[in-house]
Structure 1
């Protein structure tokens, strides 16, 4: 320690001052900073080192200040007041320090964010760790690039409200929506909002990674909510917790007659059965028996008990009859081929369904995978 202290003398400063050009001073600054950062410093050594750093941070040559910033960007050796001064320097000096220095407080970083420089906001948002208050500031006033960097930083502690604010401000940015969607952890409310905004690929990621279905319903306007929920059940039909999904829908008043009709028309009998049982307050086994009762009374009884509108009963009746006919024909009711045939046959019956539901079902008929027989015919 004594030997090293001998090196941290005015001689080092004089060597920097006497260097003939900026490149030489920058090289000397780099070597000295690296040596100081690697050494085990006692209290006196640390004070001597910080004295040199204060002088270096005020060097007239940008190259010297940058050499110090890059070499000690992640070091706690730089005093906080020096780090703050360097953060106000030109970008080449400021950005490494802003991006990495551990000596900043959250208040320092929030001040940098609110100052409004886009590149410095990005540097804050990309730090190895970002505190919750800092993340909130970026979400509130950060530029689009900074918000994208924050969303992509899984080491940033971004509260649910801050993520919601990011979506409020930049929900039309596909890059920001994707960055938020690919975070390791997402609050339920944010996940739901992203489904409405995301591309097909990102939506698929949300469904599979963040368990959107079958636990959640989509908080959208009535038409979009029902449509998205049924589409998500396509992804979740093989999972075992459909009863919990249906209970959640009902608790949030999303288990609507329209949703159940769309699910039934697309062959999602499990969702339909669980939904009817939930609305009717009837055990699932009993509801299923009543739905598939060959007589005229079973479906009607559970339908009325569920409180569904009388005007839609014939459309529901057509859906159940179509499903039973296809099942009697030996069609596998679990695949895309069945869903397409179910929807196709249901629509040919001209069911007395609301116009918006028919429009949705027609669109699904156009976009769902063709049955194998249709693909073979097209190939021929």
Structure 2
């Protein structure tokens, strides 16, 4: 009561507001008074004395038996730094109409507070936290480990929610079959390479089931088609990543998942992803990247052959890889000033005129790449026909 009277004398609050707050037995009246008093507190420039008095009033209001009053307090001060931390934590455990506004907006909670609430607060509170404008890795990790699917999806849809690679993979572990999650992750600005690869695999598995169920294709054939589609998607992802592309991370992930295939490596090399080629050889051979780089670029064909054999790649394909590396070096010396898209086009063109012994499916794939302009649109109306015609001409 003393705090209310003291605060009243130094603000624009009316006697009626104070009377409603202190003496009214009507919850609606007290809620209206609470809203007005909290607005005055929030808008006023409070010194230390007034701030202490205001926070004492807030503590009193937080103990009101009427949910309507506590909700008025929570909604009005949901973005305020005036709310005492102990009151915020108390209201976070209140009924959902009181707790949700604060959990969604209040700056008073620390990352550790929010993580604890996620672990113990139940689905409604988890979803409220997930809707915050920004989320730290501490909070998203708690959501990844403990949150319900809706909370995890909401956080993943927010590019201002920072995830560790482990946290994002944990979300995939728990909710990896959710098509809504797939859509949300695909539309994030950035994704860890390992998560991108897992998404590609999920889509590929779905495609495999459709091919077998609806088109009477043998499972072995479906696997081959899906594998090719996966490799194309992986390299398209590398192209689109631009400056954020992590060739070492991608090579390491593909190695760990058993998908660092000769075909994928050749296609990547022919598209100009030399750092990925180096890291792929390093992963397969167990030779450090620095030494692998020297054997590819500074030791001539004998060095390339040595690291190639150490990596266990097929001997029949060595001449194809050797000519791809030589083509890359030559074009770098001649036209290193070209932008990445044009450089890739020139590299594929030059490679295809010099390499007659690459596997047929890889040549078709590279011809199809040449059919695309810089925006990814197809010049040819029928890419399969165009690719095969070019292959016959070659």
Would the aligned equivalents of 2:136 and 2:161 in 1 still touch at CA under 8 Å? Answer: yes
Could you say what secondary structure the match of 2:261 adopts?
helix
Greater Cα offset, 113-122 or 309-318: 309-318
Q: Give the distance between the partners of 1:23 and 1:160, measured in 2 at CA.
A: 49
Q: Give the distance between the partners of 1:192 and 1:311, measured in 2 at CA.
A: 23
Tell me which residue corresponds to 2:268: 233
Tell me which residue corresponds to 2:276: 245
Q: Give the distance between the partners of 1:227 and 1:22, measured in 2 at CA.
A: 73
Where does structure 2 lack aligned partners over 5 or more consecutive residues? 1-5, 204-229, 324-344, 370-382
The alpha-carbon deviation at position 77 of structure 1 amounts to: 1.3
Map residues 74-89 of structure 1 onto 2, 5 A cutoff: 74-89=79-94
Q: Give the distance between the partners of 1:34 and 1:308, measured in 2 at CA.
A: 72
* Partner deviation per Cα, 1:209-234 (whole Å, 9 max, x = no partner): 33145874152356523279449828
Tell me which residue corresponds to 1:191: 193
Q: Give the distance between the partners of 1:217 and 1:109, measured in 2 at CA.
A: 36
Where does structure 1 lack aligned partners over 5 or more consecutive residues? 257-274, 291-300, 322-331, 349-359
Distance change (3 Å), C-alpha of 1:83 and 1:318: closer
Would the aligned equivalents of 1:139 and 1:147 in 2 still touch at CA under 8 Å? Answer: yes
Q: Give the distance between the partners of 1:101 and 1:318, measured in 2 at CA.
A: 61
* Partner deviation per Cα, 1:227-285 (whole Å, 9 max, x = no partner): 79449828x8256xx1x3222222222799xxxxxxxxxxxxxxxxxx9x959936469
Would the aligned equivalents of 1:280 and 1:307 in 2 still touch at CA under 8 Å? Answer: no
* Partner deviation per Cα, 1:194-223 (whole Å, 9 max, x = no partner): 223245899656652331458741523565
Q: Give the distance between the partners of 1:253 and 1:310, measured in 2 at CA.
A: 7
1:224 maps to 2:259: yes
Pairs aligned (count):
319
* Partner deviation per Cα, 1:303-336 (whole Å, 9 max, x = no partner): 5784279995446568999xxxxxxxxxx97569
User: Could you tell me the TM-score, scaled by structure 2's length?
Assistant: 0.61
The alpha-carbon deviation at position 72 of structure 1 amounts to: 0.6
Would the aligned equivalents of 2:74 and 2:102 in 1 still touch at CA under 8 Å? Answer: yes
Greater Cα offset, 98-107 or 113-122: 98-107
Would the aligned equivalents of 1:72 and 1:78 in 2 still touch at CA under 8 Å? Answer: yes
Q: Give the distance between the partners of 1:68 and 1:92, measured in 2 at CA.
A: 11
Distance change (3 Å), C-alpha of 1:302 and 1:60: closer
Would the aligned equivalents of 1:73 and 1:96 in 2 still touch at CA under 8 Å? Answer: yes
Q: Give the distance between the partners of 2:321 and 2:90, measured in 1 at CA.
A: 72
The alpha-carbon deviation at position 118 of structure 1 amounts to: 1.2
* Partner deviation per Cα, 1:176-207 (whole Å, 9 max, x = no partner): 45545655565xxx323422324589965665
The alpha-carbon deviation at position 26 of structure 1 amounts to: 3.1
Distance change (3 Å), C-alpha of 1:249 and 1:53: same
